[in-house]
């Protein structure tokens, strides 16, 4: 039983597994994987004024799929630039199913997308990378959202057990070499899971930071993986309005002034005059954990 009460089936073989089967939501190599789905029914969402377009309107057929002819990613981006996030998710599911996943750190962006994706494809995995350094509030909030929405949670863990990590690197590695710390605890677990997927949905937005200002809706990466950014054109206000309209609670740390939440040692409220992510790795040159930079775009 998970310490916060959510039922979790755990798979952690400790040895290399066979090559992953495309579309199978299981561990790849020896990465730790937790599969969880809340037993309680999904709680009804509150109704309210429409936000752009409803998910029920955003069927994949409303967006050209361009089957039967060669289509460039640039053309996809032209078609999807002004589509609502629900429509973009429906498009991705129609084109790449069942090999579609969402990475979710249970900030407001990820929770919005989890709610949308679950409405379209409840079987799609919601992937959470448990680094072992999360705020207790994040873990409690994750469990509440999984239970409330009935999500299918896939939890990835670092291969290296915490005692071995501490003995080899020390628990202050985040301060001495944050890139290595993120690589071991975040990038490597995801790296082992991604080969089973064709589309990776995530919650990046253009207004989060200058480093994200130009992200497209769809990116083609090396290895045939497509990264889908349904909220690229949204703002933070859009995401909070969506949660409020659907009766979904927000992360408790947002009420304490946090605007971007990662691992506890490397997260603080934003700097005065800084962007939304300025409280991440504050005082260091680091701006990204590496999840969105370790895969190179496909050469064109």
Catalytic positions, written as ranges? 289
Q: Which run of H or E residues covers position 34?
A: strand 32-37
* DSSP one-letter code for 14: S
Joined tokens for residue 262: 């990662």
**How many residues appear in the chain?**
300
Q: How many CB atoms lie within 10 A of CB 237?
A: 9
Q: How many CB atoms lie within 10 A of CB 152?
A: 21
The CB-side HSE value for 139 (13 A sphere, CA atoms) comes to: 15
Q: Closest Cα to residue 27, out of 44, 15, 38? A: 15
Beta strands 152-157; 32-37: pairing state: antiparallel
Q: Closest Cα to residue 162, out of 137, 135, 133, 140? A: 133
CB–CB of 249/243 below 8 Å? yes
Q: Closest Cα to residue 205, out of 191, 190, 217, 223? A: 217
Coil/strand/helix, residue 100: strand
Joined tokens for residue 278: 């300025």
How deeply is 299 buried, as exposed, middle or buried, from its count of CB atoms within 10 A (0-12, 13-18, 19+)? exposed
């Amino acid at each position: 039983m998970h310490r916060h009460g959510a039922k979790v089936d755990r798979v952690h073989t400790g040895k290399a597994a066979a090559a992953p089967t495309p579309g199978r939501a299981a561990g790849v190599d020896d990465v730790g994987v937790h599969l969880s789905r809340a037993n309680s029914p999904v709680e009804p969402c509150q109704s309210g004024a429409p936000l752009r377009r409803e998910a029920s309107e955003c069927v994949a057929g409303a967006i050209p799929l361009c089957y039967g002819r060669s289509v460039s990613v640039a053309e996809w981006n032209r078609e999807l630039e002004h589509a609502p996030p629900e429509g973009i998710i429906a498009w991705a599911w129609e084109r790449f199913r069942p090999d579609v996943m969402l990475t979710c750190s249970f900030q407001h962006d990820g929770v919005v997308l989890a709610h949308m994706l679950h409405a379209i494809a409840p079987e799609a995995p919601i992937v959470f990378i448990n680094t072992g350094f999360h705020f207790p509030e994040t873990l409690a909030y994750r469990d509440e959202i999984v239970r409330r929405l009935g999500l299918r949670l896939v939890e990835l863990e670092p291969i290296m057990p915490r005692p071995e990590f501490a003995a080899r690197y020390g628990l202050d590695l985040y301060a001495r070499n944050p890139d290595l710390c993120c690589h071991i605890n975040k990038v490597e677990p995801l790296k082992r899971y991604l080969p089973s997927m064709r589309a990776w949905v995530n919650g990046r937005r253009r207004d989060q930071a200058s480093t994200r200002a130009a992200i497209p809706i769809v990116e083609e990466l090396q290895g045939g993986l497509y990264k889908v950014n349904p909220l690229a054109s949204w703002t933070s206000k859009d995401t909070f309005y969506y949660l409020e309209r659907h009766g979904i609670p927000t992360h408790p740390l947002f009420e304490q002034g946090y605007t971007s939440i990662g691992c506890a040692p490397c997260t603080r409220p934003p700097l005065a005059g800084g962007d939304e992510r300025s409280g991440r790795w504050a005082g260091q040159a680091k701006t990204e954990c590496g999840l969105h930079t370790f895969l190179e775009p496909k050469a064109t």
